[in-house]
Amino acid sequence: MTELKFSPLRLLAKDKEEIHILSAQLQDGFLPLTSVHFDKDAKTFTCLINRFCWEYLDAHPNEERYYRVHSGFSVSNVLSVHKRNFDQKHPLRVLNLLMISVDEPKKGRQTIHLLFSGDKEIRLEVESIHCQLGDIDHPWHTSKKPIHIHEHLEELEKKRA
């Protein structure tokens, strides 16, 4: 078995198209709520994400061997942070990130949406888009690959055939 040659991911996003690239890399990442921080004075939102390494999906083609890595994610120029569908009585400890999207600019502001499973959302009102993503650790092995609804449907169709 060959060992993974790891190159830490370092990405910067300054527009909607670049946010799509960040979103693809962070899809199915686990975000512990204890890592979420908004520094109102510095206008910075930061968090730690346990991301699935999609770039190494086929590193071991004959094995169910995948990778996850801790990554830092930050958004600058943040004016406000809003949460939707968070239960204060039963706080969820870890969120599963589905995607990040951006609204069209309105009145000199944009909205970045971090969408999570369970219909949860963190919405960031920003003056301008400036997001950074960087791996801060070495990847570790996992045998679990995230499965999406279309993959479930394909698998069910194969079983029915």
Domain ranges of the chain: 10-160
Give the separation between CA 159 and CA 116, rounded to whole angstroms.
29
Question: Which residue from 138, 149, 106 is spatially nearest to 125, judged by alpha carbons?
Answer: 106
The pLDDT, as a whole number, for residue 11 is: 97
pLDDT in tens, 25-41: 999 999 999 999 999 99
pLDDT for residue 161 is more than 70 = no
* H or E, element range at 157: helix 149-160
pLDDT in tens, 89-122: 776 789 999 999 999 888 889 999 999 999 999 9
When pLDDT is cut at 50, 70 and 90, the band that residue 153 belongs to is low
**The token pair that represents 120 in the structure block:** 């949860």
Would you say 85 and 118 are in contact if contact means Cβ atoms under 8 Å apart? yes
The pLDDT, as a whole number, for residue 158 is: 60
Would you say 117 and 98 are in contact if contact means Cβ atoms under 8 Å apart? yes
Could you tell me the pTM of the whole model? 0.86
Torsion angle defined by CA atoms of residues 75, 80, 85 and 87, in that order, rounded to the nearest 10 degrees = 100
> What average pLDDT does range 59-85 have in this prediction?
93
Lowest mean pLDDT among 32-36, 59-63, 133-137: 59-63
